[in-house]
Amino acid sequence: MSLLRRFTRWLTPGLGIKRWFVMLALGVLLLVVTISLIVVALLQGGHNNTLQLWIGALIGLGAGLWLITYGVVSLVRRFLQPYRQRHSGEVYDTLHRYSLAEKGVRVVAIGGGTGLPSVLRGLKPFTKNLTSVVTMADDGGSSGRLRSEMGVLPPGDLRNNIVALADDESLMAKLFQYRFETGDLKGHAFGNLFISALEAVTGSIESALIETERVLNITGRVLPSTLQDVNLAAWVIPSGATDAVWVQGESNITHMGGKVQQLCLEPGDVEAYAGSVDAITKADMVVIGPGSLYTSILPNLLVQGIADALRATDADIVYVCNVATQPGETEGFTVADHVLALERHIGRGVFNVVLANDAYPTENAGENTRYVPPVPATHDILQRYQVTYADLTDSQRPWRHDPLKLAGALLKLRNGSSSSVN
């Protein structure tokens, strides 16, 4: 690359550095002019050394030094900001990628479990304007124990999504995912304990999340769908039975191993967290899923105010269907069955695009993986939705989404260049 080219590319709009160079140059110019005037006044003799002259000189020197100092500090901060997380490559390339991501599309991802972090990991190189809205109905594992023993909101999904927005290789991210293997803390993730302790100390999950995000130095936000204590309940037809039974608790629903007929929240009138509603209404794109249909996605959408916000927003709303069916929730489901289950609970008109997988690799899949079949060619949901297919599978764990493949498909939809299947 020529020397001229190396220089001129630093003038690329959007890097956020030209303003500080201009401020620095103005400060130097003001300083030089002021010093020159002082020298001229001294050479001309004492009769010109009036009080007004010296006051003006002090103001000029002070203003020039302030402009220089502020310009230098801002430039240093701007150059170092992208390197607060690990990056490789030339300084210009790193700064350019970071600047583009800062101005990236505003995305809100809704869900929970292991699926939602895939969306965040895939999109974070392309945009820093990421918000994750997660379910507060988890009652199993470490989250369930902390919830029952400390009376806090379940921290597990919050932790997983905060870590997804952090540097995966950082020591703090690894620490937050560490699970104790012995003693009274066995099974607890350190991040769950950290968030729960902060919630107890600060008095609110909102403050706890702000401090946790600061500790992990993430770009983006992770928000609860509601601040109220909420549980899941469902009518479930057990395997081999014909009559539905009433099951309470998220973990009990999945362990029942039957077919979910109807899901609801207890209490049913919990209200959405205002920050989550605001993020949805201001988004450019909302991504629903991937994740467990009945225990990660619907618990968010059933919260009063979330579905209303989705209907009110001008954002593109995409439902990402799971790659594989899930025992106890979606056994035997096609893509259409997933959509119909959502419609049965929240009605139509909440989302307009369905993104589904069309690759079914056998390598690394294992004998228990059952891929979700596509929408049957004559199904009536094809009249209501744009259904788009892509290879979304992770090569090592093909029952899960590959974050970069998923991000590529979502950005393609956002840019309007993907082809739909109708």
Q: What is the dihedral of CA 375, 380, 383, 389, to 10 degrees?
A: 0
373 versus 45: the higher-pLDDT residue is 373
Q: Are 250 and 157 in contact (CB under 8 A)?
A: no
DSSP sequence for 297-343: IHHHHTSBTHHHHHHH--SEEEEE--SB--TTTTTT--HHHHHHHHH
263 versus 56: the higher-pLDDT residue is 263
If pLDDT is split at 50, 70 and 90, which confidence band does 422 have? very low
Q: What is the pLDDT of residues 324-346, one digit of tens each?
A: 999 889 999 999 999 999 999 99
If pLDDT is split at 50, 70 and 90, which confidence band does 58 have? confident
Question: What order of strands is seen across the sheet that includes strand 231-237?
Answer: 245-248, 231-237, 259-266
418 pLDDT more than 70: no
369 pLDDT more than 70: yes
417 pLDDT more than 50: no
User: Quick count: other Cβ atoms within 10 Å of Cβ 44?
Assistant: 10
15 pLDDT more than 80: no
167 pLDDT more than 90: no
Average pLDDT over residues 29-43: 80
Average pLDDT over residues 125-137: 92
275 pLDDT more than 90: yes
Q: What is the pLDDT of residue 62?
A: 83
If pLDDT is split at 50, 70 and 90, which confidence band does 228 have? very high
Average pLDDT over residues 289-314: 95
Average pLDDT over residues 25-36: 84
Angle at 370 between CA 367 and CA 372, to 5 degrees: 160
Q: Are 390 and 411 in contact (CB under 8 A)?
A: no
- % of the chain residues with pLDDT over 70: 85
216 versus 390: the higher-pLDDT residue is 390
263 pLDDT more than 60: yes
- Average model confidence (pLDDT) across the chain: 85
Average pLDDT over residues 364-385: 94
If pLDDT is split at 50, 70 and 90, which confidence band does 2 have? low
96 pLDDT more than 50: no
Instruction: Give the residue from 20, 5, 136 showing the smallest Cα distance to 67.
Output: 20
Instruction: Give the residue from 403, 353, 407, 359 showing the smallest Cα distance to 381.
Output: 353
If pLDDT is split at 50, 70 and 90, which confidence band does 170 have? confident
Structure tokens, 81: 């900001």
SS (H, E, C) 349-393: CCCCEEEEECCCCCCCCCCCCCECCCCCCCCHHHHCCEEEEECCE
Average pLDDT over residues 385-402: 96
Q: What is the pLDDT of residue 287?
A: 97
Structure tokens, 124: 């974070």
Out of 69-73, 117-121, 193-197, 253-257, least confident range: 69-73
> Distance (Å, rounded) from C-alpha 279 to C-alpha 134?
13
329-345 core/surface letters (b: 16 or more CB in 10 A; e: else): bbeebbbbbbbebbeeb
